[in-house]
Every structure is written in structure tokens, then in C-alpha cells.
Structure 1
Amino acid sequence: MTRKAILFDFDGTIADTAPDLARALNRQRIARNQPLLPIELVRTVASAGARGLLNLGFGLTPDNPDYQAMREEFLSFYAEQLCQDTRLFPGIPELLEQLDEQAILWGIVTNKPARFTRPLMHLLGLHHRAACVISGDDTAYTKPHPEPLLTACRQIDAAPDHCIYLGDDIRDVQASLAAGMKPIVALYGYLGDSDPPETWGAFELISHPGDLLHYI
């Protein structure tokens, strides 16, 4: 397996999903007479999914007896308005066009559940172009475990050491390194609330999707 490929995280890397995630969280807060959280605050934990957002919005962790019910409510609200304000990041359409023109395979590897990833890929017009889409419940483990990335490699017949993985969270870098790939950090993404991206051990950091072309 020698073909090259580019793999992408989804939330905070390919698509700006934070507005719709924030809407679902704020619906929960409104129902409990709590003030709205600003989108800027939600963006910092959007890549952490329901777990991170419920911790931000209500201080809930998975060991809290109310967590599961709140998680199901959040996911239900999110599913109702899945792609109202979600958009591809500026520069992503042009980057993907360049990859397609150069016949470079690209795919998605995300911790986002397939019930959301698959319809979003359709709604954003990407479903027929991606060489693979690995969602958070498609493998036994999620990032930072390398299994999702290695599964993607097997699906597209690409060697891990010939792949670049672009993500916006420290778990993306950890999973990429464990899989034997080159991790690149999308500084335009959400980045979480962990240590600065410069300390994550990535191969490179980019400020715009188009910068990725320099490393292909």
C-alpha cells in the first residue's frame, strides 16, 4: 500500500458545526431557565461532543445520574436542527477541489456518531466524494485510539505513513501519531481547552485549509 491520502477530522476541521451544537445546548438551558451561552464559549469545547458540551452547560460528567437523560435530550435537539447553520470552513471547498483534481484520496475520521455524520455529509454535498467516512461508532474505539484511522487506511488501501491527518484537537494528534501518520493541526478550528497546540507534537500547524497543499 503506497498511495497517498488525506484524512480529516469533521467538527472544527471540515465543518463549523458549533452554531447548531450551541443551539441544542442552549435549548436545554432555556428549558431550565438558564441564560444562553455565547457561541464563542461553545466553540472551545465543540470538538468534545456531548460530553464536553454538557460539562460546559451544566457541569455534568458521565458519572452523574442525570447525565444519560440529558445527553439523549441534547442529541435529540441536535438531530432536529442538524444543519441549519453548519457550514464548511472557508477554504475547505477549494482544498477538496484541488485534492479531487490531483486524484488524491481524502476521507473523514471523526468521533461524531454516524447518525449525524452521514446525513451531514449528504447535506453538505460531500458524501459522494469522500473515499471513506469513519464515524465514532464504526469502530470499537474512538480517538485518541488509532483504530479509526487504521480502519480508514484499510478501507482506502493506503499506508498510514503515506497519510496526513488534519484535526483541531489534541486527540487527533495523539491518534495520528499512534497510527503512524503525520498529524497537522488546523489552527482555524476549535482547539479545545487543553495545552496550546504548539505543544501537541504535531508535524505542522496551519492557519488556513489551503496551507495543507504545501505538505502534499
Structure 2
Amino acid sequence: MTKIRTVLFDLDGTIADTAPDMAHALNALLQAEGKQTLAFEDIRPVVSHGASALIKLGLGVAPGEAEFDRLRERFLAVYADNLCRHTRPFDGIGPLLVSLHAAGIAWGIVTNKPAFLTEPLIASLDLKPAPVCIVSGDTTNNRKPHPEPMLHAAAAAGARPEQCLYVGDAERDIQAGKLAGMKTLVALFGYISRSETPDRWGADGMVNSPHEILEWLERHG
């Protein structure tokens, strides 16, 4: 069907809808700190940017500032204990993975999420067929938008970078994929805020649903 041999995905906001459990962890932290909780609609667009961005959103504390490390540790502890209560694959991901397998295309994950969260989350989701590689935020020395984790994933999947497509919902995903020499797609169904301009990220395409990834491969792969 395509010259692409491997499709690599971001995790939060692309493969899995993790926002409900991430929002729960943030609001639990806010309650514990005596702060006002936030509406889910305000938290969702920030989830793909990770714990640091969520702590900045909820408590106004950035990395390097006093209390940040303590707050991050508390947030991650709450999240780790509630990792997959409401998290599910996005609608259409299951059939997409089956279709990729039928076409002889492998799939994998490249995320900035640390491995101690990524690995049990993927295990809980029990995606079939299983990914050929999982690259977490601490697997390599650098994280996205650096291309190192992308190149590591390609090698683990047994593919050259130009034989890979990377799908993600953040600008750093597209930057990392392009720097690695991969084709890239923006997952518009992910956690993209109204203020962001994904049409300016320089991706090879944008998709509104997982099914459209197959359609793109048929046309451009």
C-alpha cells in the first residue's frame, strides 16, 4: 500500500486520550494545595505539554522556581496511582493498528512521558498488535523536539527514517519528525489549543481522525 514501513505515534493526545486522568491528577494536587480546581476544558489543551506545563497552568510555578520540584513529584505520584482509570485509545486507533498490520506496516510510540508512566499505561491499554518499539522521554539522552528519540525508534523498528511516518499533536512532534528525516502528520483530534496554528508547523499533512491516517498513506505513502 505504501513505501512507509513504520508509523510512529506520540502517546498523549494521539494514541491515547489521557486527558481525563491527567486532569484528575492536577485537580487533586490543586485541592491538596488549597487552590481552586480547573475546568476540564481548560486543562485538556495543555496535557500534551506534560507535567511541567500543567503545574504552570494550575499553580503558576515553572521549572527552576521554588516549590516546582515538590509539586511535580506530588503530581506524578497522584497520576501514577490513577494512570488508566479513564484513559482510552482514541476512537479508531484499534482498527487503524489492525489495518497497518494487515498492510505490513509496523507501529511504535515516541513520547516525552517518562518510562515509569509510559510502560504501565501501554500495558493497561493492551493495544493489538503490540508496538514494535516504545521510546519514552528518558529512553535517550534528549527528548522531542530533538531528533534522537525518533532515530532511536526507527532503528528499533528496523526502518530508515525516511521509511517512517510520525503522527503527533504538538509542534515539537512535527519538529522532531522533520529533523529526523521522517514524514509527519498533525493529529488534529489531539490536544491542540485554539491559540495554536498547526497549519504553520510544516507537517506533511493534518488528520481529523485516526482513519484519515490510512487515507493519507494510500495517497502519499
Q: Taking structure 2 as the reference length, what is the TM-score of the superposition?
A: 0.94
Structure 1 distance, partners of 2:136, 2:65, is 26
SS at match of 2:163: strand
SS at match of 2:189: coil
Deviations 1:150-186 (A, max 9, x none): 0001111101111110000000000011000011000
Q: Map residues 56-95 of structure 1 onto 2, 5 A cutoff.
A: 56-95=57-96
Structure 2 distance, partners of 1:163, 1:3, is 6
Q: Tell me which residue corresponds to 1:199.
A: 200
Structure 2 distance, partners of 1:80, 1:88, is 19
**Amino acid corresponding to residue 145 of structure 2 in structure 1:** P
The unaligned stretches of length 5 or more in structure 1 are none
Q: Map residues 17-166 of structure 1 onto 2, 5 A cutoff.
A: 17-126=18-127, 129-166=130-167
Structure 1 distance, partners of 2:123, 2:101, is 18
SS at match of 2:162: strand
Residue 65 of structure 1: how far off its partner (Å) = 1.4
Residue 121 of structure 1: how far off its partner (Å) = 0.8
Q: Would the aligned equivalents of 2:97 and 2:129 in 1 still touch at CA under 8 Å?
A: no
Distance 1:127 1:63, change over 3 A: farther
Q: Would the aligned equivalents of 1:45 and 1:193 in 2 still touch at CA under 8 Å?
A: no
Distance 1:139 1:127, change over 3 A: farther
Structure 2 distance, partners of 1:110, 1:191, is 16
SS at match of 2:108: strand
Structure 2 distance, partners of 1:150, 1:98, is 24
Percent identity over the alignment is 47
Distance 1:170 1:192, change over 3 A: farther
Residue 38 of structure 1: how far off its partner (Å) = 1.1
Distance 1:193 1:79, change over 3 A: farther
Residue 126 of structure 1: how far off its partner (Å) = 2.5
Q: Would the aligned equivalents of 1:8 and 1:14 in 2 still touch at CA under 8 Å?
A: yes
Residue 193 of structure 1: how far off its partner (Å) = 6.7
Structure 2 distance, partners of 1:100, 1:69, is 43
**Amino acid corresponding to residue 133 of structure 1 in structure 2:** I
Q: Would the aligned equivalents of 1:153 and 1:160 in 2 still touch at CA under 8 Å?
A: yes
The unaligned stretches of length 5 or more in structure 2 are none
Q: Would the aligned equivalents of 1:105 and 1:131 in 2 still touch at CA under 8 Å?
A: yes
Q: Tell me which residue corresponds to 1:11.
A: 12
**Amino acid corresponding to residue 60 of structure 1 in structure 2:** V
Residue 32 of structure 1: how far off its partner (Å) = 2.4
SS at match of 2:107: strand
Q: Taking structure 1 as the reference length, what is the TM-score of the superposition?
A: 0.96
Give the total of aligned pairs: 215
